[in-house]
Amino acid sequence: MSIFRNILTKSTSQLKTFSRLSTQVRKCSNISESSLPDKGQDELIDFEVSTKEMKYVERLMPQLTVPEVPKHSSYPTPSGWVPPREEALSLPYQVRRTKNHMLPVYHEQTHQNRHCVHIRKVEGDIWALEAALKEHLQQLYPEKQLASQVHEVARSIRIKGHYIHDVADFLISKGF
């Protein structure tokens, strides 16, 4: 009943309808009829229809498709996420974000000590991206030998070594 009282005390611009509510007195063995409140046969109870609370239901329901990232006031976000920038369109190569708006850069490990960086979803001149990546990583690690693989059909690049964070930073700096 308190729910009805709360709705009634809200703004009267809400739609108000009245309905006849026939009270049904249930016969319970442990409750005597005299203890129940007096109700007339045709007492009218007014209620309001409100759809403002539906958002609390909708945010609990599972989403079928990944939604767009909401606009934040500043980047990077508290989790470290950075949106892609428009200046990346002018480059001869592009690295598209995944459907979850993340960079398509993955760390692969086999045999306990073999680390690779896997960059997927490369569009445009894939060899130019590979050359740029190797040049950038060689500057950071001059004494290391860099081995890489370009898969033109699958549009991916693999680089041997534990350089995932350097590669991610490089791609973010380019605006992907």
Nearer to other proteins by C-beta: 115 or 120? 120
CB of 67 to other proteins, least distance (A): 9
Minimal distance, residue 82 CB to other proteins, in Å: 15
Phi and psi at residue 43, to the nearest 5°: -85, 130
Residue 5 backbone phi and psi in degrees, to 5: -65, -40
Window of 1-9, 33-41, 137-145, 149-157 that interacts with other proteins by CB under 8 A: 149-157
The CB-of-68 to other proteins minimum distance in angstroms stands at 9
Least distance CB 12 / other proteins (angstroms):
40
Q: Burial-class residue 66 by CB neighbours within 10 Å (0-12, 13-18, 19+).
A: exposed
d(CA 107, CA 123): 20
Residue 175, Ramachandran bin (φ over 0: left; ψ between -120 and 50: alpha; else beta): left
Q: Which of 99, 103, 3 is nearest to 45 (CA)?
A: 3
C-beta closer to other proteins: residue 40 or 62: 62
Of residues 38 through 97, those in contact with other proteins by CB under 8 A are: 62-66, 84, 86, 88-89, 94, 96-97
Query: What Rg, from alpha-carbon coordinates, does the chain have?
Result: 31
Binders in 12-41 for other proteins, by CB under 8 A: none
Least distance between other proteins and beta carbon 34 (Å): 54
If one counts every other C-beta atom within 10 angstroms of the C-beta of residue 145, the result is 8
| Cβ nearer to other proteins, comparing 47 with 127 | 127
Query: What is the residue type of 70?
Result: P
Q: Does position 118 bind other proteins by CB under 8 A?
A: no
Which residues bind to other proteins, rule: CB under 8 A? Answer: 62-66, 84, 86, 88-89, 94, 96-97, 99, 123, 153-155
